[in-house]
Amino acid sequence: MKYDEYLAAGYPIGSGVVEGACRHLVKDRLKRTVMRWLPSGAQAMLDPRATYLNGEWNAFWKFHTGLIGSGDTILNYSELGMASPEQSAAPDFKERTMKIAVIGIGNVGSVLGRRWVEAGHEVFFGVRDVIKAEAIAEAKAAGAALALVSDAAARAEVVVLAVPWKAAVGTVFALGDLSGKILLDCTNPLTADLTGLEVGTTTSGGEQVAAAAKGARVVKIFNTTGAGNMADPQYGGTVVTMLYAGDDTDAKTVAARLATDLGFEPIDLGPLSAARLLEPFALVWITLAYRGGLGTNFALNVVRRPA
């Protein structure tokens, strides 16, 4: 029975009937791929409810019925809403619509996700709790899908980390296999009172995130200005600067393009180790905003003398 039919028949959510049915589907999938039970397998059992809420039930159902009916496991990436390895390596990677997982749906994540949907990208918000009412409402308002963090990351070619610093490294581990993906790190390793940084000078939050994100191409970006400026990076005729740093040229091209899509002027600050400069620079903005009396309606910019 399809989930919508199940609901229409009046069975309650969480009664165990659907979860029980899903367990068999997941178990079958795991057996076919000779995998042992993992936490992600257990999480997958909760996905039907999430996919139903996201309106993605048809793709989910098609995938599972196709899988059960066929002798071999042949994944159709586009039906699943996932980026295939070929797609990720395609030469138009820098220009076309992208599949973006925004991890964290707070001040930064919600704005970035909403604006990238407006720019034509496909966005999956990755959260820890897919049935939290605020997250469901936020995703719906943005026109984005909602999924558990590992599921969102699996579907995307670009993963955006927008969680508090204390959760950053743990969240990266929870993202699963990031091989070949681009990871945009927006976090700042702020102390709890927002007056200092927990790491710096000889390393950076960006480098620590990269160390945890095995196989990912990490770019530090969207950390140096407030979420209000991400919502609207134009001050009259002046465009707000977005500095970024990373070691992979293609990943930086994509990061810069996504900043341009939001209306920023992206400027490359160099290798990922330059995150050691970007994170204290973020603290300059925070200090002016919250202790310097400027509020949040300002930006720190690169300005050029006309030639």
Ligand X SMILES: NC(=O)c1ccc[n+]([C@@H]2O[C@H](COP(=O)([O-])OP(=O)(O)OC[C@H]3O[C@@H](n4cnc5c(N)ncnc54)[C@H](OP(=O)(O)O)[C@@H]3O)[C@@H](O)[C@H]2O)c1
Residue numbers at the binding site for ligand X (CB under 6 A) = 104-109, 127-129, 149, 162-165, 167, 170-171, 186-188, 190, 223, 226-227
Query: Residue 268's Cα: distance from chain center in Å?
Result: 21
DSSP state of 176: -
Return the SS3 of 268.
strand
The residue to which tokens 């200005």 are assigned? 225
Closest approach of ligand X to the CB of residue 104, in Å: 3
Q: Per DSSP, what are the bridge partners of residue 217?
A: 182
Q: Which residue is nearest to ligand X (CB)?
A: 106
Return the SS3 of 171.
helix
Count CB-CB contacts under 10 A for residue 89: 12
Query: Residue 212's Cα: distance from chain center in Å?
Result: 16
Q: Which phi and psi (to 5°) does residue 74 adopt?
A: -115, 110
Minimum CB distance to ligand X smaller for 25 or for 278: 278
Closest approach of ligand X to the CB of residue 293, in Å: 17
Minimum CB distance to ligand X smaller for 45 or for 209: 209
Closest approach of ligand X to the CB of residue 230, in Å: 7
For residue 67, the surrounding DSSP H or E stretch is helix 57-69
Minimum CB distance to ligand X smaller for 142 or for 162: 162
Minimum CB distance to ligand X smaller for 65 or for 297: 297
Minimum CB distance to ligand X smaller for 163 or for 183: 163
Closest approach of ligand X to the CB of residue 128, in Å: 5
Closest approach of ligand X to the CB of residue 148, in Å: 9
Structure tokens at 54: 């996201």
Strands 217-220 and 241-246: antiparallel
CA-angle at 46, arms to 40 and 47, nearest 5°: 85
Closest approach of ligand X to the CB of residue 137, in Å: 12
Minimum CB distance to ligand X smaller for 25 or for 108: 108
Whole-number CA gyration radius for the chain? 21
